[in-house]
Amino acid sequence: MQLAAIIRKELQLLSRDVHGLALLFVMPLVFILIMSMAMKDDFDRRSGVALDVLYTDEAGIEVTDAMLSDVADNDLFNLVEVGSVYPGGSLADAAAAVGADEYSFLLRILPGAFTSLDAKVAEITVAPGTSREVTQLFVASLRRAMAKQRILLMEKEIKEEIPEAEAYDFLEVSGAEDDELIDISYGFQANTVSEAPTSVQQNVPAWLVFSMFFVVVPLANTMINERQVGTLRRIRTIAVPGWKLILGKIVPYYFINQVQVVLMLMVGVWVVPLLGGDRLTLGDSFGGLALISSALSAAALGYAILIAVICRSTEQATTLGGAGNIILAALGGIMVPTHVMPEFMQSVTVVSPMSWGLQGFLDIFLRGGGVADVLPEVASLLLLGVIALAVALLAMRRQTV
């Protein structure tokens, strides 16, 4: 009965804290929508998602076919013929689609392409949402394919004029297709991530983890206010043990955390695609998802209660809890994705419990993991939660002695 009464009291206080609830639900929603859309292009490049390119070949000759085939060999771009989407090959409809960001580029091969060395070959229309870096990559790919065809055409003309050059391979000598002429190495690369997530796969769990830890603000404020007005002292006079007080706080906020998980995942699955982003894939293990979200909630609540117990005022709790969350988020790959960090920074992320939670979600969403795959992160989060709660209980006993 005592525990039920404490839980009921907490739920009543929560229902009156409109600003605290807004912080827990509106903040991650806004971050997910903004960051998922703002970082879409960059994550698409890193995760190997092909960008759709509308094209029309008005020359219709063997050379332009070969050039388009070379461009299509680049996994970054998916060529879509205008006529296959818009009957009659309407360039106006194609241009409108690119202008609406439905496609990244519109490539038009001109009728006079390759009729002479100075003949213009193509025109490109770039979508408003396509970044300058992606545009440069596409233009470079097109120029490489075009240069290859020019070399072949010049080779043909030279061999017609000079029969002795028949055995000479101009394309091979040019080095245009010799990958051994260039060595590529990467200054940093994620050691623990087998593949890069898409924007929505990164941002939905990242800001969800961040918001779950932000229960520290309303929970700590409630506990400190109760301590300051004497509510906790009056409760202790009726012989309510400290563990019941702690558990009475944990249960309502655990429920709030799980509601956060469900709502933010729904945003990733249904809302983000409506705005033009990718759809969040939830993986195949709902047991693993429930396990990692519960363990993450335990760690977040343990951290929040410890902050509430050691702080003397709501200002201290808000400052310490908020600043601590931001530092943990910066270290844990929430604000800056782990796979784009330098290698020495990637090794530092292991100190942040937010990183453990994020990696657990990515194990399920990105790597097809299950319960067994998230057990290391779950164990670390539960251990942190238990230690934080134990320290909080010890501090509460000392405060009442």
Whole-number pLDDT of residue 182: 52
Please enumerate in sequence order all residues whose Cβ is within 8 A of that of 15, keeping only pairs 6 or more positions apart, or say none. Answer: none
Decide the pairing of beta strands 122-126 and 105-109. Answer: antiparallel
- Kindly tell me if the per-residue pLDDT of 227 is higher than 90: no
pLDDT per position as a tens digit, 32-47 = 888 877 676 666 655 5
Better-predicted residue by pLDDT, 391 or 230:
391
H or E element in which residue 377 lies: helix 371-400
The edge-to-edge listing of strands for the beta sheet with 105-109 is 77-81, 51-57, 105-109, 122-126
pLDDT band at 197 (very low <50, low <70, confident <90, very high): confident
Whole-number pLDDT of residue 289: 94
Domain borders along the chain are: 2-41+196-400, 49-181
216-229 and 242-266 helices, crossing angle to 10°: 150
Domain made up of 49-181: CATH architecture:
3-Layer(aba) Sandwich (3.40)
C-alpha distances (whole Å) from 78 to each of 53, 69, 71, 269, 400 are 6, 11, 9, 24, 68
Q: What value does the mean pLDDT take over residues 376-392?
A: 94
Supply the pTM of this predicted model. 0.66
Whole-number pLDDT of residue 191: 42
CB neighbours of residue 148 within 10 Å: 17
Cα angle, residue 325 at apex, residues 400 and 7 outer, rounded to 5°: 45
